[in-house]
Structure 1
Amino acid sequence: MGSTCLRSKSFFWVDTTHKDKREDGRYFEVCWLQIKKFIRYNNWPTGHEIRADLWKELCRDRDFDANRQLYAHEVDAMLQSGVKTLRASFLAADGVVMHDFGLREIGAVSLQRLLIIIESVKPEITYVPVLYPLCALFLHYMKEEDTFSCVMHLMRAGNAFMQQSFIAAAASSRTLLALVKRHKSSIYNLLKRRVGTSDETILVRAVRDWPSWLFRQLPFDYAVRVVDCFIVEGHKMLLRVALAIIYVWSKDKKRDYSNFATKSCEERADALGVLFAETAASCPVSIQTLIDIAVGIRNLKGATITRYQKQFEDLVREEEKSGAAIPRVQPPSQMLYTSPFTSQIVSAEVATAIMCSLPSRFQLETPQLLFRLSDDGSSFTQLWAKIDEVEQTLFAIEASSGEVFGAYCSASWAERCDIHERARSRYFGTGESFVWKVDAKTGRVCIYPWVGSGSIQAVNCPQMFMAADDKSIVIGSGGGDAIAIRDELFKGISSACTTFDSPPLVNGREFVISQLEVFEVRSGPT
């Protein structure tokens, strides 16, 4: 690299007078500090030509070119072998962030190939929560082989850059909470008041999805700037940005928390986690301000993070042995090639699991919100006005008890107005419909498909999928209605249903609607 710390065809900086002291540790420290400041305070736009070389140069090590050649060799071997693997198996692990930041079709294919090869050359990989979105961001600026070399460089540093085990990732949430307590004590006290407890095993639920704030929720231009700094500063920078997001949330004095009164402490903590994600998604401060807040946290030392991390990894191991670990949402059973829908009722992980149960042609586009009870009111007239024109809909309902459930409906609700067809049967829809619920104890998504799916006797199976009139809606019937709401969008009944062979979706059958969302489900481009 000559007499500079970093050089490329697009940029040249950080000169120093210590050329004759290459082995002086102080030289490297000064050099690193200059690079760190240079990256932190140069707010290049996302399309700036510097970034194509910036990330490669920051990750360049003695194995960089060899890893590029290794990748080309692995691609050739894959093509010659005719391998049919569609995705890397470690992507099915619970808690993995799945977001490609809008890669086009060719880019999405490159991403899958890249991840398969990473798994092939590093078979010990079982859990790297942010690898998918990080590779996707790299591919927006670099070729596959350069992305591969950069990832190999970062992974060689172990957990200093990316958490590479479930234990480490789970402990990092507790580390983040400990850092809030240490460096932002007033915010920590605010968290305790909002959740209604000082029990940290409950409080940590609010921050357990923090990697997704950075790599799924933050807008693209924000995420790119975070990665600029991350490549230099590592995992510590990600924790800084997560702390900054919590700080920004704490400054919103207008938010209404009245609905917390009816929630348990666990539900409040989960709800705060949703609010943190929403703060990231609609970040009310500029990119540079967010970075400034993150790096402005004083005395946040790597040694402190390491100490907390080790302490909490030991604790997580003990909890794993005793079976007392924090419940985890069921991972999706297949790959999702778009972003999950954003909901006030379900988390992104639950949304992903639901979308992976949709017919495959509907997994290529993110469902779009049509109706939300808190915004649009409890009138059926307003509901029909919002959803009548679409072909497929996805319902999500939160009961006042905190139970969450819903349905995918495969036909247009406008079919209720077809007088000729309704004279023959009040029911319509197809066997692609299903109902679902989130298990309150495990957090797992339970899908109840049509009983005729895959049956050779499908024609003899009950087909009471959807029914409605001006002031009622029924989803699933036979022996009882899986979901029935009448008169107003205020309360309903859920019973066992033979069409989906589903139990009552709520305890006690009757429910009061706290929130209701309806999304349009569309097929991807053909």
Structure 2
Amino acid sequence: MGVKRRSHLHNKTADEVERIVQTGKVRELKNCIRFHQWLPFDCVRSRLWQIICSIHVKDKATMDSLYWDTVKQIYGTHDLVAKTGPLPTFVEPSFQMSYYLNETGIQVARRVVNIISYSCPDITYAPSLYPITCLLLHYMSEEDCYACVSQMVSSKKTKFITQTKLHFETIWRTSMILCRRHAKSAVSYLAKQAGENNILESIHQQWLNCILKELPFQHLVRVMDCFMFEGRKVMYRVWMAILILFHRHLTSLSPNDPLNKESIVEATLMDFCHNLPCSPEKLLRTAYGVRNFSSSEMDRLFIKTEMYLKSKAAASASMPNNKNVMVPRSRSSDVLPTSQSQVNIQMMSHTLTIRELLTVWSWLPVRITMYQPELLYTTEEHGCSMTTFFNRVEQHEPTILIVKTATEDVFGAYCSSRWAERNSKDSHGGRQGYFGTGETFVFTLVPNEIKYPWVGISATSSSDGPSCVRHAAELFMASDGHMITVGGGKGQAIWIDENIRYGKTDGCLTFNNPPLASTTDFEIRVLEVYGFQNL
């Protein structure tokens, strides 16, 4: 077989890719990874994956040392033992694909996954982690594989691997909404064929199965090239591409080949993926040919869907006939502020008692409770200056803002985004008005402890679920440097003036809250802002 001639864009050498990385040309690197045509076992890929991993893994030597120290601690030796023990419970039994690894390779994969479980005890459900580990081991050493998977697990900016059942369900529901928007014809056709909505949902639940389990190896490796650099959004694109190509395949069949619901759900789609009748290049061309799909849209939908599912679970748990049913919780949701943190806040805070701190803590997103609170700003110590306020808090995300009024009311807001975003520009170059996400909420502590979450989590009336919320109910945070506001639409939940002396509270559409204080206009006795250490 002759060697294909490399073009300027396609099939760059590993040295060329490394030079692109070193010069920081992100767009050129992205295009190179998306559109090259390397074969599955081209020697370039081993270097390529190590180069991509080096972008995410900052202290490689420390990661290697940590891995082998942990191996020695658990197994007593660096040598590969015959029995590496059972796989962690977060591994899905039906997702144990080894992709042609030999027995030694499988044992290495099991050891890497067990060390990940030991290092990250809060992972409760991660079906994609084991197959991704096996794929990586085709192209890198054991310690390199561990470093890469660890970074995928801990990455905050680029999302790779789900770690709880809630996030797993959130992802497939998010992909379903995205497909309705960006692969309308394919989804409409499948809905017509399926007939019942629950059957259509079952198709979307199979999305990772179709990609990680059914795609031919040469297609999957190309998907992984892009996934390792761009993260989860690649999987969304590939899933949309599969549905688009599947739709074209079904419409090309003879009218004499009738399809029934079961064949579409259980056989035809899986068989189509397993014997995909197109090249890896065409699959990715179709995936990246989906227009107007952005990371910001994906992130917004993910947060809305997650909050919708949390709200649904909470509502179900509070139903009278379910009062004896315990809702499973992630281990991390039981994490409380340390005794030292509680003592520190009790000594410094002029707004919170320990009981009120723990109340607010119970309302926070689970992942945030892994970090300890710290007082960033208080008018008692730092004065009543908006400039000082922003200097001390604007780079922190998230924050908790708490107000104590002259009439002893205590209320506040969980602010999901940095206050520095007030300086961001909109698409027209002007200063954007509101910012933040649907994780933002407001609350009262005195006289009553009540949380008012974003109304989007209960927006279930349309087929798009939480995505149907109108703009007036998405006004989370705002500031022009002379005031700060939380909530909007027919009023602001919290409005504070530039001298941090007076404020106003009204009902608003964002949180569907009543005024948070006993009077709509109030005088501020103390304002405090809390952040989270090492976040």
Using the size of structure 2 for normalisation, the TM-score is 0.51
What is the DSSP-based 3-state SS (H/G/I as helix, E as strand, rest coil) of the residue aligned with 1:11? Answer: helix
Other-structure match for 1:11: 15
Other-structure match for 1:79: 75
The structure 2 residue matched to 1:236, chosen from 233, 238, 242, is 233
Other-structure match for 2:65: 69
* CA distance in structure 1 between the aligned counterparts of 2:276 and 2:258, rounded to whole angstroms: 23
Asked if the contact 2:98–2:131 (Cα under 8 Å) also holds between the matched residues in 1, the reply is: yes
* CA distance in structure 2 between the aligned counterparts of 1:148 and 1:208, rounded to whole angstroms: 28
Give deviations 1:203-258, integer Å, cap 9, x for gaps.
Answer: 22111021111111111111111100001111000111111111111011217764
* CA distance in structure 1 between the aligned counterparts of 2:18 and 2:31, rounded to whole angstroms: 10
* CA distance in structure 1 between the aligned counterparts of 2:86 and 2:286, rounded to whole angstroms: 37
Give deviations 1:117-154, integer Å, cap 9, x for gaps.
Answer: 11111111111121111000011111110100111121
Range with greater deviation from structure 2 (223-232 or 166-175):
166-175
Other-structure match for 1:330: none
Other-structure match for 1:412: none
Asked if the contact 2:91–2:127 (Cα under 8 Å) also holds between the matched residues in 1, the reply is: no
Report the residue type matching 1:187 in the other structure: A
The structure 2 residue matched to 1:32, chosen from 7, 26, 37, is 26
Q: Offset of 1:87 from its aligned partner? A: 2.3
The structure 2 residue matched to 1:125, chosen from 119, 123, 126, is 123
The structure 2 residue matched to 1:100, chosen from 98, 101, 104, is 98
The structure 2 residue matched to 1:306, chosen from 299, 303, 307, is 299
Other-structure match for 1:254: 253
Asked if the contact 1:97–1:211 (Cα under 8 Å) also holds between the matched residues in 2, the reply is: no
Report the residue type matching 1:55 in the other structure: W
What is the DSSP-based 3-state SS (H/G/I as helix, E as strand, rest coil) of the residue aligned with 1:69? Answer: helix
* CA distance in structure 1 between the aligned counterparts of 2:34 and 2:89, rounded to whole angstroms: 32
The structure 2 residue matched to 1:55, chosen from 49, 63, 68, is 49
Q: Offset of 1:89 from its aligned partner? A: 1.9
Q: Offset of 1:88 from its aligned partner? A: 2.7
Change over 3 Å in CA distance of 1:257–1:111 after alignment to 2: same
Q: Offset of 1:202 from its aligned partner? A: 4.6
1:88-487 counterparts in 2 under 5 A? 88-93=87-92, 97-158=95-156, 160-197=159-196, 199=197, 202-252=199-249, 253-254=252-253, 258=258, 260=260, 268=261, 271-272=264-265, 274-321=267-314, 322=316
* CA distance in structure 1 between the aligned counterparts of 2:290 and 2:274, rounded to whole angstroms: 22
Identity %: 26
Give deviations 1:462-489, integer Å, cap 9, x for gaps.
Answer: xxxxxxxxxxxxxxxxxxxxxxxxxxxx
Change over 3 Å in CA distance of 1:16–1:165 after alignment to 2: closer
The structure 1 residue matched to 2:37, chosen from 14, 39, 43, is 43
Q: Offset of 1:33 from its aligned partner? A: 1.1
Give deviations 1:148-174, integer Å, cap 9, x for gaps.
Answer: 011112112157111222111112111
* CA distance in structure 2 between the aligned counterparts of 1:14 and 1:140, rounded to whole angstroms: 20
* CA distance in structure 2 between the aligned counterparts of 1:156 and 1:162, rounded to whole angstroms: 9
Q: Offset of 1:16 from its aligned partner? A: 7.6
Change over 3 Å in CA distance of 1:93–1:284 after alignment to 2: closer
Give deviations 1:360-406, integer Å, cap 9, x for gaps.
Answer: xxxxxxxxxxxxxxxxxxxxxxxxxxxxxxxxxxxxxxxxxxxxxxx
Other-structure match for 2:339: none
What is the DSSP-based 3-state SS (H/G/I as helix, E as strand, rest coil) of the residue aligned with 1:190? Answer: helix
Q: Offset of 1:79 from its aligned partner? A: 2.6
Change over 3 Å in CA distance of 1:89–1:259 after alignment to 2: same
Asked if the contact 1:230–1:238 (Cα under 8 Å) also holds between the matched residues in 2, the reply is: yes
* CA distance in structure 2 between the aligned counterparts of 1:108 and 1:17, rounded to whole angstroms: 32
Change over 3 Å in CA distance of 1:160–1:270 after alignment to 2: farther
Runs of 4+ in 1 over 6 A off after TM superposition: 16-19, 81-84
Using the size of structure 1 for normalisation, the TM-score is 0.52
Q: Offset of 1:302 from its aligned partner? A: 0.8
* CA distance in structure 1 between the aligned counterparts of 2:133 and 2:14, rounded to whole angstroms: 22
What is the DSSP-based 3-state SS (H/G/I as helix, E as strand, rest coil) of the residue aligned with 2:29? Answer: helix
Report the residue type matching 2:16 in the other structure: F
* CA distance in structure 1 between the aligned counterparts of 2:191 and 2:98, rounded to whole angstroms: 34
Higher RCO (CA-CA < 8 Å; seq separation 6+): 1
Change over 3 Å in CA distance of 1:282–1:84 after alignment to 2: closer
* CA distance in structure 1 between the aligned counterparts of 2:86 and 2:135, rounded to whole angstroms: 18
What is the DSSP-based 3-state SS (H/G/I as helix, E as strand, rest coil) of the residue aligned with 1:89? Answer: coil
Give deviations 1:12-68, integer Å, cap 9, x for gaps.
Answer: 34768997xxxxxxxx5xx21111100011111111111112111111132222111
Report the residue type matching 1:118 in the other structure: I
* CA distance in structure 2 between the aligned counterparts of 1:144 and 1:17, rounded to whole angstroms: 23
* CA distance in structure 2 between the aligned counterparts of 1:99 and 1:319, rounded to whole angstroms: 33
- Which ranges in structure 1 are unaligned for 5 or more consecutive residues? 1-7, 20-27, 261-267, 325-526
Q: Offset of 1:293 from its aligned partner? A: 0.6
* CA distance in structure 2 between the aligned counterparts of 1:17 and 1:9, rounded to whole angstroms: 13
* CA distance in structure 2 between the aligned counterparts of 1:18 and 1:218, rounded to whole angstroms: 33
Q: Offset of 1:84 from its aligned partner? A: 6.4
* CA distance in structure 2 between the aligned counterparts of 1:16 and 1:226, rounded to whole angstroms: 20
Asked if the contact 1:64–1:153 (Cα under 8 Å) also holds between the matched residues in 2, the reply is: no
Other-structure match for 1:350: none
Range with greater deviation from structure 2 (81-90 or 117-126):
81-90
Report the residue type matching 1:54 in the other structure: L
Q: Offset of 1:318 from its aligned partner? A: 3.9
What is the DSSP-based 3-state SS (H/G/I as helix, E as strand, rest coil) of the residue aligned with 2:253? Answer: coil
